Structure 1
Amino acid sequence: MNKISGARAIVECLKSEGVKYVFGIAGAYLVPILEVLAETPEIQYISVRHEQVATHMADGYSRHTGKPSVVLATRASGASNTVLGIVTAYSSDSPVVVIADLPPVQSMGRGEYQDFDLVALFKPITKFSYQVECASKIPYILHKAFTIALHGRPGPVFVGIPSNFFSEEIESSLPFKRHGTWMGSQPPQRIIEEIVDMLLESENPAILAGNGVNLSGANEELRMLAETLAAPIVPEYCQLDLLPTTHPLFIQDREILSDIDLLFTVGTNLPDFYMWSEVPKDARIVQVELDDAQVCKVRPADIGVTADPKATLNAIKHNLIKKIDEETRIKLKKRYKRIKDLKERFLSERWPKGEWEASPIRPWRLLRDLRETLSPNAILTHDSGALSTHWLSRCFDFYTPKTCYCCLGGAMGFALP
């Protein structure tokens, strides 16, 4: 039976997972993998000048395409340089796979050069952090890592591989199979009907929407549900591209949450404390999340489900339409007008008065001119900073999903790595 090196097994696994790009910095211990990559036209290796830059580039690629990306790092300092970028990827639901070499197995724990516990370092900031125990397990562990990175709410993973495994030969007949994708599940009909009844009973509902909407491609379903229910959509922090920001129901002013009686959350991560402080204590909560760890994470939910937002929102909308009678339709029409008036007032007050010709140029002038210059589907990357986020959310309009990428992890240098 034919055998291949561990290094070639790694590259074959990347090919089977559909990886197109690998980001990183060449290191002596990584040469066996880099040599195989050089012979693999299906995968392009992109060299950078710092590992944090590699993770930001991988993060950006994964956010925009929804596909996994790979960062190849050397042991110890090289891998640890990716930490800030991985924190950002973890906060942004990006399926970034970090592969790092480790000291040879026989040298671990004996003071080997650059022998650090990288698995422990990455465990709190990834969905999966693991050290390959023997060369023959390379395909299995990498397949598992990619599956975890993409399953449910996506996120980064870390795999450490002892460098002596790169030259060790393993069976080439091991399966290199691409994992299936998880999508399309929705709650049972009984739960859908309970949610619909709660929405119709509510006098003043609101929708809190997060990145899970973009991840599942549920943007149109979100719009249709909000319009059917006549409920405002409040975006989670920095999620400004879920719907056109000019939509009458897309409200960026969190104060609208202060008098709601029901909050419907969909695809959120961890909404920040200040947002939740606006929500009345007696408001009922319905959560539709990709990750069950998010359900009841901040506040107890009256109904909490783990399901695909796209399928679930579609099912709720269809059941909602069936139950709306003429009396309810009149009530919803009045509510829609009230929210639309609030949005128009926000838009009329968005621009500070005066100082349009001031020097140096003011933030609102810069953002207005930038918006007028760029095409509607231009992609804007935004670095860390609460003040700049404030002006961006107030003065810059987005029209297309996946055109606003913010640094949720707080690392500087994300916008232009």
Structure 2
Amino acid sequence: MRTVAQTVTRVLADAGVEHGFTVPGESFLGLLDAFTGTPELTLVSTRHESGAAFMAEACAKLSGVPAVAMASRGPGATNLSIGVHTARQDHTPMVVLLGQVPSTKLGRESFQEVDLAALYAPLANWTAQPATAAEVPGLVAEALAQATGPRPGPAVVAVPSDFWDEPFPGPLPAPGAVVAEEPDVAGVAERLAAARSPVVISGARDPRSHRELVAAAEELGLAVYTGFRRQDSFPEDHPHFAGHLGLAVPDAQLKALENADVVLTVGMRLDEVTSQGFRFPLPEQEHLQLPTSALGALRATAPARRRDWSAAHAAVTEFMAPPEFPARSALHPTEVVRALRRLAPRDAVVTNDAGNFSGFAHRYWCFTEPRTQLGPCNGAMGYAVPAAVAAKLVAPERTVLAMVGDGGALMTGQEVETAVRHGAPVVVVVFQNGLYGTIALHQVKSSRAMSAVDIGAVDFAGWARSLGAAGYTVDAREQLEPAIRAALGEDRPCVLDVRTDPDVLTADARLGDFLES
């Protein structure tokens, strides 16, 4: 007879789940045993629970299949929460399995006890804690349904530690389905046909949706914006591309959106950044929504139209054009991104962390292929390195680059050791400027003194070598391309410690400009 834990892993495997990420804990030992004993599942032990959650989120984002994040009660579960919030805000399917205190000790503020279902309620799509061992497999099946429903996201089950090894005599529960409303494709097609200047805001990542959206834009005469950190949902070099709705979007790139009479959102919600502070859609604009699965039907229903989006795309091209750099200037982050783009394969997966440096990747990488960008829409620092490890495990044939600031690298960079242990040769590019640049910019822009933003000098290359990875230091422009070529040629994880100009906060702002005024 199967145990509860063995039944749970069978439910997960039958649903297509392939990976689980965790820091092992004593409150789910039976689940660890069952995961290891299920051939279809791969268990990855990480160095911190936030790394485990970020890996699960990135794994699901890249593959389209839910991954599992696991943690123990109290401290482990709270560490895990940052990546769960990331999955919630980015619509990423994730199943979260938490070990809880034994059922006989619940409600007594036992060692490491937290009301985990209540803790995770605002961070997840759905949470549950079973009252009996027999309920556990059914709740996990329900978690899979909730995680993959019309709004994908994390679903959490907190299980008392004594339940895992209990026998489960019942039939294997099957995941249900959360039914979505049928889209009004005919109505959307009619409105697009009658529109003067319709635009699409897209977050569709998978290859099929990517192809369908390109075809729809060309056939129906649509301009396409991409949502925040979803730049891989439409080719940025396409003549119908109107811009990435990220942070600090120039006015010229918003004109097509401002002038639109119909705004169609595909494959995402309009979060605060994408909507530019909830400014769009404007009150006078008609806002339509469509699932990515309906793009083919839309093409078949809507009449072909031609519209000229050359002015909108010209604004994008101008924005993405890199400036010239004086020969004797310090290394600029733009140069780093452009050199990586030249030398890496076209379909390389880029994981970008949060922070000012990420704006250079958003602006200068030029994403053209689906599922090539993994970034946290909630702005969580420490995402890039764990996400890169997961991406390489999911797609070992692809080049995977993590772009991370020194602050983010010092939060979860220890997952380089996880990459070494699992034979995942990622390339981690650390943009080291010795500063929490985003906070420093906020401080100086509001005429405040800079405080608590200095980061000490770190030998990231030496640190990488101590973890079993390769490490290269780049201090000067002439070292950059040789170091990138060497890193891309490594058969083990590699860290590039790139020392960038500390005066450069963004592509358009220098620290000195504020300090002198």
1:193 and 1:35 map into 2 onto residues whose CA distance is: 51
Matching residue's letter, 1:97: V
2:240 counterpart of 1:249: yes
2:91 and 2:103 map into 1 onto residues whose CA distance is: 32
1:47 and 1:281 map into 2 onto residues whose CA distance is: 49
- Which residue, out of 216, 230, 243, partners 1:239? 230
- Which residue, out of 323, 345, 369, partners 1:400? 369
Counterpart of 1:287 in structure 2 is 289
Deviation at 1:9, TM superposition (A): 2.7
2:185 and 2:58 map into 1 onto residues whose CA distance is: 35
2:353 counterpart of 1:383: yes
- Which residue, out of 316, 332, 336, partners 2:298? 316
2:221 counterpart of 1:219: no
Deviation at 1:279, TM superposition (A): 4.6
Determine helix, strand or coil for the equivalent of 2:2: strand
1:31 and 1:193 map into 2 onto residues whose CA distance is: 52
Counterpart of 1:300 in structure 2 is none
1:38 and 1:281 map into 2 onto residues whose CA distance is: 54
User: Is 1:255–1:278's contact at 8 Å kept on the other side of the alignment?
Assistant: no
Matching residue's letter, 1:202: A
Q: Note closer, same or farther for the CA distance 1:215–1:275 as it changes in structure 2 (3 Å cut).
A: farther
- Which residue, out of 98, 106, 127, partners 1:129? 127
User: Is 1:7–1:36's contact at 8 Å kept on the other side of the alignment?
Assistant: yes
Matching residue's letter, 1:237: F
- Which residue, out of 201, 208, 227, partners 2:194? 201
1:43 and 1:137 map into 2 onto residues whose CA distance is: 22
- Which residue, out of 33, 36, 41, partners 2:34? 36
Deviation at 1:26, TM superposition (A): 1.6
Equivalent residues in 2 for 1:16-415, closer than 5 Å = 16-171=14-169, 173-177=170-174, 186-187=182-183, 191-210=184-203, 213-214=204-205, 217-252=208-243, 253-272=253-272, 273-274=275-276, 276-277=278-279, 279-288=281-290, 308-311=291-294, 313-321=295-303, 332=306, 335-336=307-308, 339-355=309-325, 357=327, 359-385=329-355, 387-415=356-384
Q: Note closer, same or farther for the CA distance 1:346–1:138 as it changes in structure 2 (3 Å cut).
A: closer
Matching residue's letter, 1:314: G
The count of aligned residue pairs is 375
Deviation at 1:61, TM superposition (A): 0.8
User: Is 1:102–1:162's contact at 8 Å kept on the other side of the alignment?
Assistant: yes
Deviation at 1:256, TM superposition (A): 2.3
Residues 59-99 of structure 1 show CA distances to partners (whole Å, capped at 9, x for unaligned) of 11111111111122111111111111111111222211111
Q: Note closer, same or farther for the CA distance 1:180–1:49 as it changes in structure 2 (3 Å cut).
A: same
Gaps of 5+ in 2: 244-252, 387-517
Larger relative contact order (CA 8 Å, sep ≥ 6):
1
1:174 and 1:400 map into 2 onto residues whose CA distance is: 43
User: Is 1:132–1:141's contact at 8 Å kept on the other side of the alignment?
Assistant: yes
Q: Note closer, same or farther for the CA distance 1:352–1:40 as it changes in structure 2 (3 Å cut).
A: closer
Runs of 4+ in structure 1 off by over 6 angstroms are 180-183
**What TM-score, normalized by structure 1, do the two folds share?**
0.83
Determine helix, strand or coil for the equivalent of 1:264: strand
Matching residue's letter, 1:234: Y
1:358 and 1:86 map into 2 onto residues whose CA distance is: 45
Deviation at 1:341, TM superposition (A): 4.0
Determine helix, strand or coil for the equivalent of 2:268: coil
**What TM-score, normalized by structure 2, do the two folds share?**
0.68
1:409 and 1:265 map into 2 onto residues whose CA distance is: 19
Counterpart of 2:401 in structure 1 is none
